[in-house]
Chain A
Amino acid sequence: MIIAERKPLDEIKTLVDDAQKVLVVGCGTCVTVCFAGGSREAQITAASLRMSTKLDGNGKNVGDVTVQRQCEWEYLDEIKDQVEDADMVLSLGCGIGVQAIAEHFPESWVVPGLNTTFLGIPSEQGVWEERCAACGDCILGLTGGICPIARCSKSLLNGPCGGSEAGHCEIDPDVPCAWQLIYDRLSSKDKLHVILDLQPPKNWSTSRDGGPRKIVREDLRLKAEEA
């Protein structure tokens, strides 16, 4: 899922400084699960803004609402009136949610309340770790289900650099060396031969390097008369 973190309140206050009536919009999907932008966080953020701006002597009118998914038009339709009634929307969705609101409500102004950080998993309660770089050409079949693009600090494809020590990456003792993990996993499955072959330079054109990406599935598109 998409992992995000809320921006510091001071930064948020600067972003909404121009507005008197602010609508905080939470999202019920990824950012709810990572406790960054769900209904609870939307309520807390709205209350914090109300109190903080009141203390500053310029109390703002801050409301909140949470939709199931900010990245789908049908859920955004549900909050049309509230959005149009506010001077500004503070989205607690990921970067996709913020852009969906901007695109769906071109007359309104939207600012981000979160920093969208990575695609990952909650590895334990209160800890989230990156797992996927969305490179568009998955090689997990070659690396025992551990991604060196997302998890090796240098995205190496042919084994560990000289900075792997005691299982961790040289950049941080808390970062596991992806290639140590790959080595251990392949070794335990007697599949080390897989990483002895030279992996050619990656085709990054399927990644962000190829420009903004788009998928069109003709089999799923609605015909003109249905649309």
Chain B
Amino acid sequence: MTTIETNTNGYVVGSTLERVLKAGHFAVTGELGPPQSADGDEIREKAALLKGLVDGVNITDNQTAIVRMSSIGAGTIVVQEGLEPIIQMTCRDRNRLAIQSDLLGAYALGMRNLLCLSGDHQKFGNHPTAKNVFDMDSVQLVKMVTDMRDECIFQCGDALKGQEPRFFIGAASAPFADPIDFRPYRLAKKINAGADFIQTQLVYDVEAFDRFMEKVRELGLHEKTYILAGVGPLKSPGMARYMKNNVPGILVPDEIIERMTAAGKPWADIKKDELTREDKRARSKVWRDEGIQVCIDLIQQLREIKGVAGVHIMAIEWEKAVKPIVEGAGLYPRPTVKEPVTQ
């Protein structure tokens, strides 16, 4: 079993993600969705596809409100496989008692990174008749885990009795959700609450993201936290259009949709019912290759934006895409940072 170093050497936590970011490297994180089953091998297979390619891997917490293996359970397997998980914790399913106790367990099991989220509403999931919790929100969650780490207190103010859970604490930002003018300020609230790093919603519109970052820089937020821009490979022009039209807070410029469409041009004149299985397979391959290339191009553009400290690659159920993306973007091999913090 791989053990994670506990000597923090001047770091708040000493996780790989923290070391890479503090050494000034452009960080790369990935995402792993646990199975809708108790099958640990599925985690091991996905972990193998990401190992060595990312500095940390988000383990989703009942994403889209669909019941899956717990983030901490799956994260334990990921630790055993030699990767560093970034545990996702939402406010939808647990109250402050459950969140704190689960995080004590997560630390004891070797987890060192945490992403604090509100959580998708259960209406979208497979248990829409469930009662939600929302005892606290994501900003309050960031503050609670920061206080557990830095003040060694529980949310109620009582002192912890022994080892405190030391997490490198992350939060999410949705730069393009409404009210758009408030987004940098909401980010500031999360940073003031203690967020060490930020992962953003998927970015396809680099210009719009640049405008967001301009405000972020004006507020000096990029100097108080590490901002990882969210990217994800598109599988088809249809997926691009779906995201543009149906997913709140995601902007997909027409030129990207056109680029994806153009890739499938050799099949464009064939009627839908005349497409053979081979045609569809070949077209899907070309689309996916183009999706990976679009993702690489986005990473390179995002890297040029001041204040972007890394990328968070969301390739859920397409973990194989991460390797060509990371390699194609010139981000492989990942750096190893052993020395103490240099700041």
Contacts and interface: CB of A to CB of B under 8 A. Distances in A.
Given A165-B249, A171-B123, A196-B185, A154 B177 contact: no
A28 interface: no
Interface string A154-181: 1111111111111100110000010110
Contacts of B189: 158-159, 196, 198
A160 B182 contact: yes
B178 A165 contact: yes
- Would you call the interface of chain A mostly helix, strand, loop, or mixed? loop
Interface in B174-222: 174, 177-179, 182, 185-186, 188-189, 192-193, 201
Most buried by B among A154, A199, A204: A154
Contacts of A158: 137-140, 186, 189
A13 B192 CA distance: 58
A8 interface: no
9 contacts: A153-B123, A154-B91, A154-B92, A159-B186, A163-B121, A164-B177, A167-B178, A171-B123, A183-B182
Nearest to B123: A171
B248 A157 contact: no
Interface string A166-210: 110011000001011001100000001000101111101000000
Contacts, number: 96
A177 to B, nearest CB: 7
B192 A161 contact: no
Interface stretch (B35-43, B128-136, B162-170, B258-266): B128-136
- In this complex, the member of A156, A158, A192 whose beta carbon has the largest number of chain B beta carbons within 10 angstroms is A158
Interface string B83-107: 0000000011000100000000000
A179 B180 CA distance: 12
Contact of B179 (A180, A196, A200): A180
B172 interface: yes
Nearest to A166: B178
A170 B120 CA distance: 10
Contacts of B248: 162-165, 170
Contact of A160 (B123, B134, B179, B188): B179
B112 interface: no
Interface of A: 153-167, 170-171, 177, 179-180, 183-184, 192, 196, 198-202, 204
B46 interface: no
Interface string B247-284: 01100000000000000000000000000000000000
B144 interface: yes
B132 A164 contact: no
Contacts of B132: 154
Residue among B137, B144, B172, B201 having the largest count of chain A Cβ atoms under 10 Å: B137
Given A162-B201, A163-B248, 11 more contacts: A157-B137, A157-B139, A157-B140, A160-B179, A162-B172, A162-B248, A167-B178, A180-B178, A192-B185, A198-B140, A202-B136
Nearest to A179: B179
A157 B135 CA distance: 10
Nearest to A149: B134
Contacts of B80: none
Contacts of B172: 162
Given A198-B139, A198-B189, A160 B178 contact: yes
A209 to B, nearest CB: 8
B96 A164 contact: no
Contacts of B76: none
A159 B182 contact: yes
B293 interface: no
A169 to B, nearest CB: 8
Contacts of A156: 118, 134, 137-138
B36 to A, nearest CB: 22
Contacts of B138: 156, 158, 161
Nearest to A165: B248
B248 to A, nearest CB: 4
B143 interface: yes
A196 B144 CA distance: 18
Contacts of A167: 178
Contacts of A157: 137, 139-140
Contact of A184 (B124, B139, B179): B179
A155 B178 contact: no
Contacts of A202: 135-136
Contact of B178 (A154, A164, A171, A199): A164
Nearest to B248: A165
Nearest to B200: A162
A200 B132 CA distance: 20
Contacts of A200: 140, 143
